[in-house]
Structure formats: C-alpha cells, structure tokens
Amino acid sequence: MAVVVRAGVAPLWWLGVVAAGTGAVPEGLTGRRIGVLAGAALFLVGAAGVALARRGRYTALARGAARAGRYDVLQDRAVTVRAWRRGHRWWLLLGWAAALGSAFVVPAAGGMLLAGLGTGLRLKAVWLGRLERAGQTLLWVRVDWLDRSGGRPAGKAVKGLRGTGIAAGDAAPGGARRRTPALV
C-alpha cells in the first residue's frame, strides 16, 4: 500500500521544483517576494493536507489486514510505480503546465504547491512505514482493487488489505526500495 502512495513522490517533487525555479524568473503581477511567500504557505498547506488526509481509513484498513493467500495477486514494487506513473502522466503534465502558467500571476507559488504535494505523499509513506513496522507486516492492496490508473490505495473499491512478512517482496516498510536482498 505504501508503494502506491510513494509512487507519486518523485514526479510531483521534481516537477514542482522545476516549475518553481522556472516560475521565479518572471516578475508576475504580485512580484517575486510575495509569490515565494505565498508558495511557501502553499507548500506547507499542501504537504500537511496530503500527509493527514484519510489517515482514519488507512488505519482501519491496516487493522483489518488479512494474511495474503495463495491466490492474491500482489505486484512488484517497480511494476506498481510504473503503473501509477503511466496512469497519472496526463494529470502530472497538466499540473506542471498549470504551475508554470500561474507563475505569470504569482511567481513560483504553483511549483511550490506541487512540491508540497509530493512532500506530503512522502510523509504519508513514512507514516505507513511506521505502521507496518509496528505490526511487523507489509501491507498490500490487491491489484484488482486499485483503480485503472493504478492509484487510490484507500479508495471505495479497496475492501481490505493483505499482509505478508516484513521481509517479503522487494519493498521495505514505507514503500522504499529494499536495500539488501530479502532473506528467503
């Protein structure tokens, strides 16, 4: 589950940094100083909003996680990340274009908001990693319960989570890439 959450971190962060850097070039209607200050506020609000959103649903799903069965389809980390990024590429491109376009009104603010959303997803993945370590289980969403764009790990279609041992799969708790090979 944390892998799906973490899949959007890098694209949102880097597109936001590029948009904020490029967006700081034009003076805009409000001026750079106000644009950067507004961007900092949007960064904090976006990061906090994404990090705290739906925590109750995630906790309830984690509490009710069942042991993964033989016929549960669980994806590799790389496949999950690729599916999420393919499914959301147009939204990422549209968000980046909107952040660049908003720079002519409020310089750097849109890009900083995008970077804040990526940071919020990272914070949520870290929180999920702590939840997984506390329960000594990796939490998985069945592939057929994700939406067609590969996202929404706590959406209405997700009826429950599956759990495996902490060393299963190629993902570490929190959705990060496992640094050392898992012991089998």
162-181, pLDDT tens digit by residue?
Answer: 888 877 767 778 877 777 65
Q: Which range among 22-26, 122-126, 158-162 has the greatest average pLDDT?
A: 122-126
**Alpha carbon distance 113, 119 (integer Å):** 10
| Exposed / middle / buried, residue 110 (Cβ in 10 Å: 0-12, 13-18, 19+) | buried
pLDDT of residue 149 exceeding 90: no
What is the pLDDT at residue 157? 82
pLDDT of residue 65 exceeding 60: yes
**Alpha carbon distance 42, 102 (integer Å):** 13
What is the pLDDT at residue 181? 58
**Average pLDDT estimate for 128-134:** 91
- The residue among 97, 91, 76, 47 whose CA lies nearest residue 171 is 76
Work out whether the CA dihedral 90, 13, 7, 46 comes out positive or negative.
negative
Output the pTM of the full model. 0.89
User: If you count them, how many residues does the chain have?
Assistant: 184
**Average pLDDT estimate for 30-35:** 92
pLDDT of residue 38 exceeding 90: yes
**Average pLDDT estimate for 50-61:** 93
The alpha carbon of residue 15 and the mean position of all alpha carbons in its chain are separated, in whole angstroms, by 14
**Could you tell me the pLDDT band of residue 150, with boundaries at 50, 70 and 90?**
confident
pLDDT of residue 24 exceeding 70: yes
Helix, strand, coil % in the chain, rounded to nearest 5:
55, 5, 40
